């Protein structure tokens, strides 16, 4: 093999600066498209109110009792659905040519993706804080301490980042941003609803319970319940982190492969 | 004069489709090369390879002396790219788009803002500075696309079909901007399916069809390649028509046409016009119009590719 002339790499510090600039770009879009704000503010709160007051009484006896069980599930469900934003944004950039413009600039190769992920994590953190805040107004109480709340945010963001690679893969495979939404929903609806996020596992038929118990959404919801309500933490958190690692290990390389094939 | 862009034997396949089947081209520093061809000829693929967005399957290319594969980063420092596939963020304002590029190129915030203001004024977009790019008109949008590729003051510019879909006025504005850049010494590689655009802007034209270069040369050289010109004679008096047809037939290299009282015929002999003038004079025949016309690039295109130029080509 011939020795290639060493190409001066972009320094990490510059790459991080590019990432920051591109994250700014994604966040400043909110200013011009208030619908996006609706997407990750109003919609989660709507879900929370709906589940608490419409189904809560039937599932747990009273809306207040349901909140203790259901808030964690709703936060997890919202987290997963919001990962679609990453895919929709990436697909828009690819199909509109923004990505090509960025790739023709002398910037770190990884910064466009990293910038989007950083921005989306900020949005995710905002939605989690909002749901937690509204939940507390409705009567939810954190039974643990500030460390556990911090842990909740950390675990959710780590899991959200890993899970967003699923939507990145979909984004690389489909031709239009709307299709990311459609395929994403088809993927995420059964995943989130066939879990213990909204209803307790023992109320379901046996065949479904078998799946619900191993569903990563249940695992993550249990981990968040443990962190916020007290109860077992180490087991579900470890399992959730293993799931995150597995999602990352499968979907990140697939996405990179699909990206290379596409451009 | 040195070459700013050199490509040798570029081959690019997408599955079973061969987009580039061995393309060679060279662009001299400070000139405009027009890459002319119909839709699907491989123009955009060629630009994407040269702008480091695609790795060629075979062949190699240098831009500004740097290899587009091995030294892609240095190439990216030199170039600006505008086109159907490299565009601005529609959700950001005109100013934000330009500031974004400036910041990515390492300009401090204040300088990025100043540069954005400067470009917006230069491209008459100051009024639209705070409007989302998605709400721009077609012409404004192209100007913003071009401005975005000029933030870093590139010495080499790739323009991929810069005027496709624009109305004639916006197209003329775009042409003026490109001429201005060339006057400042920028080297331009321009792709177009408009023959007159290549004629207007390009110092040299490369005609590409089905991923292959079918002709290279200046506009005049390409026109000369068809080897024939058209002579047109309009008699002053209609009564002279038959006599003039007879005279034109003596110099014509093909069928003589006399519809509408105007006599036209293809000629190949360089002395044909002088010959015809003498004969007309000898016969005492007065003419209202006498002209020798080079073939249009449309005719050249037809003779080079065996197909008419693509639809919708303005005259």
What pLDDT, in 10s, does the model give residues B198-208?
A: 989 999 999 99
Closest CA to A84 of A39, A126, A49: A39
Looking at residue B195, its pLDDT comes to: 82
Q: What average pLDDT does this structure show over A28-56?
A: 86
Q: What average pLDDT does this structure show over A10-35?
A: 90
CB atoms within 10 A of CB B267: 20
pLDDT higher than threshold 70 for residue A203: yes
Looking at residue B86, its pLDDT comes to: 65
On whether the CB atoms of residues B280 and B287 are closer than 8 A, the answer is: yes
pLDDT higher than threshold 60 for residue A2: no
The model's pTM is 0.83
Length of chain B in residues, anyone? 315
- Interchain pair A101, B81: CB under 8 A: yes
Whole-angstrom distance, CA of residue A42 vs CA of residue A49: 11
pLDDT higher than threshold 50 for residue A76: yes
Which of A27, A32, A90, A92 should we substitute to test contact with B (largest number of B Cβ atoms within 10 Å)? A32
Q: Determine the 3-state secondary structure of B313 from DSSP.
A: coil
Whole-angstrom distance, CA of residue B19 vs CA of residue B43: 9
Closest CA to A170 of A243, A262, A249: A262
Q: What average pLDDT does this structure show over B290-301?
A: 79
- Non-local (6+) Cβ contacts of A255 within 8 A are A165, A168, A169, A172
Structure tokens at B25: 């081209």
Q: How far is B42 from chain A (nearest CA, A)?
A: 15
Mean pLDDT of chain A: 90
Spatial strand order in the sheet of B212-217: B79-83, B156-160, B187-192, B32-36, B204-209, B212-217
pLDDT higher than threshold 80 for residue B70: yes
Q: How far is B67 from chain A (nearest CA, A)?
A: 10
- Interchain pair B73, A10: CB under 8 A: yes
Which of A5, A25, A107 is nearest residue B70 as measured by Cβ atoms? A5
What pLDDT, in 10s, does the model give residues B219-250?
A: 888 887 777 788 889 988 888 888 889 888 88
Which of A8, A22, A31, A106 should we substitute to test contact with B (largest number of B Cβ atoms within 10 Å)? A106
Q: What average pLDDT does this structure show over B67-73?
A: 94
Q: What average pLDDT does this structure show over A179-189?
A: 89
Closest CA to A101 of A15, A22, A30: A22
pLDDT higher than threshold 70 for residue A3: no
pLDDT higher than threshold 70 for residue A4: no
On whether the CB atoms of residues A223 and A155 are closer than 8 A, the answer is: yes
Of all residues in chain B, the percent with pLDDT exceeding 70 is 96
Please list every residue in chain A whose beta carbon sits closer than 8 Å to the beta carbon of residue B104: 18, 21-22, 102, 105, 107
Alpha helices in chain A (DSSP H): 12-32, 34-37, 43-50, 56-60, 63-96, 98-103, 111-137, 146-173, 177-193, 206-214, 216-229, 234-262
- Non-local (6+) Cβ contacts of B227 within 8 A are B268
Looking at residue A33, its pLDDT comes to: 78
Of all residues in chain A, the percent with pLDDT exceeding 70 is 96
């Amino acid at each position: 093999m011939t020795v290639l002339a060493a190409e001066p790499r972009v320094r990490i510090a510059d790459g991080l600066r590019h990432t920051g600039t591109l994250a700014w770009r994604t966040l400043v879009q909110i200013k011009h498209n208030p619908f996006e704000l609706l997407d990750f503010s109003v919609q989660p709160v709507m879900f929370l109110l709906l589940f608490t007051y419409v189904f809560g009484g039937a599932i747990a006896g009273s809306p207040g009792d349901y909140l203790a069980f259901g808030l964690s599930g709703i936060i997890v469900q919202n987290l997963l659905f919001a990962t679609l934003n990453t895919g929709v944004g990436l697909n828009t950039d690819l199909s509109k040519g923004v990505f090509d413009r960025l790739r023709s600039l002398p910037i770190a190769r990884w910064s466009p993706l990293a910038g989007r992920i950083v921005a989306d994590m900020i949005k995710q953190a905002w939605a989690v804080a909002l749901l937690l805040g509204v939940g507390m107004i409705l009567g939810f109480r954190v039974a643990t301490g500030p460390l556990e709340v911090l842990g909740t945010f950390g675990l959710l963001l780590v899991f959200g980042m890993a899970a967003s690679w699923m939507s990145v893969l979909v984004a690389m495979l489909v031709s239009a941003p709307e299709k990311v939404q459609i395929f994403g929903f088809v993927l995420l609806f059964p995943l989130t609803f066939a879990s213990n996020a909204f209803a307790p596992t023992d109320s379901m038929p046996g065949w479904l319970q078998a799946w619900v118990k191993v569903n990563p959404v249940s695992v993550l919801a249990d981990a968040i319940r443990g962190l916020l309500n007290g109860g077992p933490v180490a087991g579900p958190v470890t399992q959730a982190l293993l799931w995150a690692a597995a999602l990352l290990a499968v979907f990140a390389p697939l996405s990179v492969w699909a990206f290379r094939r596409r451009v | 004069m040195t070459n700013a862009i050199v490509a040798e034997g570029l081959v690019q396949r997408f599955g079973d489709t061969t987009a580039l089947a061995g393309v060679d081209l060279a662009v001299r520093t400070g000139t405009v090369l027009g890459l002319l061809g119909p839709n699907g000829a491989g123009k955009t693929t060629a630009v994407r390879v040269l702008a480091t967005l695609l790795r060629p399957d075979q062949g190699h290319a240098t831009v500004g002396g740097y290899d587009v594969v091995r030294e892609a980063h240095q190439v990216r420092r030199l170039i600006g790219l505008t086109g159907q596939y490299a565009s601005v963020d529609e959700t950001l304002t005109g100013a934000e788009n330009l500031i974004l590029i400036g910041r990515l190129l390492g300009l401090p915030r204040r300088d990025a803002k100043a540069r954005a203001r400067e470009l917006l004024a230069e491209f008459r977009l100051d009024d639209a500075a705070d409007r989302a790019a998605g709400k721009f008109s077609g012409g404004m949008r192209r100007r913003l696309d071009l401005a975005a590729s000029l933030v870093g003051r590139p010495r080499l510019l790739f323009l991929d079909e810069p005027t496709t879909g624009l109305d004639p006025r916006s197209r003329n504005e775009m042409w003026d901007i490109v001429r201005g850049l060339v006057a400042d010494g920028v080297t331009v590689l321009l792709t177009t399916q408009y023959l007159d655009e290549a004629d207007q802007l390009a110092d040299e034209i490369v005609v590409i069809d089905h991923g292959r270069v079918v002709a290279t040369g200046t506009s005049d050289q390409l026109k000369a390649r068809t080897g024939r010109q058209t002579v047109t004679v309009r008699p002053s008096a209609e009564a002279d028509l038959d006599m003039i047809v007879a005279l034109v037939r003596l110099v014509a290299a093909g069928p003589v046409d006399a519809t509408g009282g105007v006599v036209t015929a293809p000629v190949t002999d360089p002395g044909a016009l002088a010959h015809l003038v003498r004969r007309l004079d000898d016969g005492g025949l007065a003419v209202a119009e006498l002209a020798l016309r080079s073939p249009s690039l449309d005719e050249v295109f037809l003779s080079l590719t065996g197909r008419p130029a693509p639809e919708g080509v303005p005259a």
